[in-house]
Amino acid sequence: MKPRTPVRQRIGSLLLAGLAAGILPGFEPADMPESPPWPMVDQLLLPEIRADHPALSQTDILIDVGHGGVDGGTVYGDILEKNINLEIARRTYDALRGSGYTVLLNRVGDYALSSDNHWLNSRSRHLKDLAQRSHLAKEVSPKVMISLHVNSAKSSSKRGALLIHQKGKESRKLALCLQEALNPLYGTDTEPVYGRSYYLMKHVEAPSVIVEMGYLTNEEDRRLLLDAASQQKIAERIAAGVRTYLDVHAR
């Protein structure tokens, strides 16, 4: 086991960097460095600092940014899902912060969360990545968690956002709010589905959903997912759905 003090010192420096970058509530800098865009927020979520920094245990929304690092997710030509997830997650973060919510991201750069998982005795990188995501959600204990992903299908005609929810009724309500917010953007009437076999849906206690933000295999969806203005619209619709749930259903 690594000594506790060096870890606390490293986390402390990262926390200050997070505050300076405007990631955590309470500080808006005049000038933000262009590179790196943000420090690794997932490193701020260790239980040993939560008592000193209560904002981390009073989180409204945890945004789970799908894939990262060696795991590119869905691929179409040279287009990687992980990059789309991160870009829309950043925009969603800004939209929700702008509404006054406390929001955290579990990935702010191109890296795999599995590399931070030194506690699970498994040879599966994929399982370690998922377990780390669920562990972080448990430590933060948000009101809701949204996991952002991009879909694919054998048929190029299949399109639109798809919400995947847990078994619980609150997750179903959250999924419906998000689905109703996103459907008009794609011109679809998709219904949320129950994610019986999804690891995160089974292992995260807070009301959680997976947001499949469109199909890379569909030309219209692909254009929406890659265009900056359209990414902003998707982020705003996601934020609107979350707001509806928190303001109306989660009281």
Q: Residue 218 falls within a domain, yes or no?
A: yes
- Looking at every residue in the chain, the average pLDDT score rounds to 78
Residue 206 lies in domain: 55-250
* Entry pTM: 0.77
The predicted model gives 230-242 an average pLDDT of 98
The number of domains in the chain is: 1
Q: Residue 187 falls within a domain, yes or no?
A: yes
Pairwise pLDDT comparison (106 vs 187), residue with the higher score: 187
pLDDT, tens digit (0-9, with 9 covering 90-100), for 144-196: 999 999 999 999 999 999 999 999 999 999 999 999 999 999 999 999 999 98
The pLDDT score that the predictor gives to residue 178 is 98
Is 50 exceeded by the pLDDT of residue 129? yes
Q: Residue 66 falls within a domain, yes or no?
A: yes
Q: How confident is the model at residue 198 (pLDDT cuts 50, 70, 90)?
A: confident
Measured CA to CA in angstroms, residue 44 lies from 9, 38, 53, 79 at distances of: 12, 12, 10, 30
pLDDT, tens digit (0-9, with 9 covering 90-100), for 61-81: 999 998 888 788 999 999 999
The pLDDT score that the predictor gives to residue 44 is 38
Q: Residue 1 falls within a domain, yes or no?
A: no
Q: Are 202 and 142 in contact (CB under 8 A)?
A: no
Q: Residue 85 falls within a domain, yes or no?
A: yes
Give the phi and the psi of residue 155 in degrees, each rounded to 5: -90, 125
Q: Residue 220 falls within a domain, yes or no?
A: yes
The pLDDT score that the predictor gives to residue 135 is 76
Tell which residue, 146, 115, 145, 149, has the closest CA to residue 132: 115
Q: Residue 49 falls within a domain, yes or no?
A: no
**What is the share, in percent, of the chain residues with pLDDT greater than 70?**
69
Three-state secondary structure along the chain?
CCCHHHHHHHHHHHHHHHHHCCCCCCCCCCCCCCCCCCCCHHHHHCHHHHCCCHHHHCCCEEEEECCECCECCCEECCEEHHHHHHHHHHHHHHHHHHCCCCEEECCCCCCCHHHHCCCCCCCCHHHHHHHHHHHHHHHHCCCEEEEEEEECCCCCCCCCCEEEECCCHHHHHHHHHHHHHHHHHHCCCCCCEECCCCHHHHHCCCCEEEEEEEECCCHHHHHHHHCHHHHHHHHHHHHHHHHHHHHHHCC
CATH number for position 119: 3.40.630.40
Q: How confident is the model at residue 251 (pLDDT cuts 50, 70, 90)?
A: low
Chain centroid to Cα 124, Å, comes to 22
Cα distance between residue 139 and residue 119, in whole Å? 15
Q: Residue 181 falls within a domain, yes or no?
A: yes
The predicted model gives 225-239 an average pLDDT of 98
Query: Which of 25-29, 124-128, 187-191, 246-250 comes out lowest in average pLDDT?
Result: 25-29
pLDDT, tens digit (0-9, with 9 covering 90-100), for 18-63: 443 444 433 333 333 343 344 344 333 334 434 445 555 589 999 9
Q: Are 84 and 225 in contact (CB under 8 A)?
A: yes
The pLDDT score that the predictor gives to residue 69 is 81
The predicted model gives 105-127 an average pLDDT of 65
The pLDDT score that the predictor gives to residue 115 is 58
Query: Which of 113-127, 167-181, 191-205 comes out lowest in average pLDDT?
Result: 113-127
Is 80 exceeded by the pLDDT of residue 105? yes
The pLDDT score that the predictor gives to residue 190 is 98
Nearest-10 Cα torsion for 18, 20, 26, 28 = -130
Measured CA to CA in angstroms, residue 170 lies from 39, 62, 108, 112, 134 at distances of: 32, 16, 27, 29, 18
Is 60 exceeded by the pLDDT of residue 97? yes
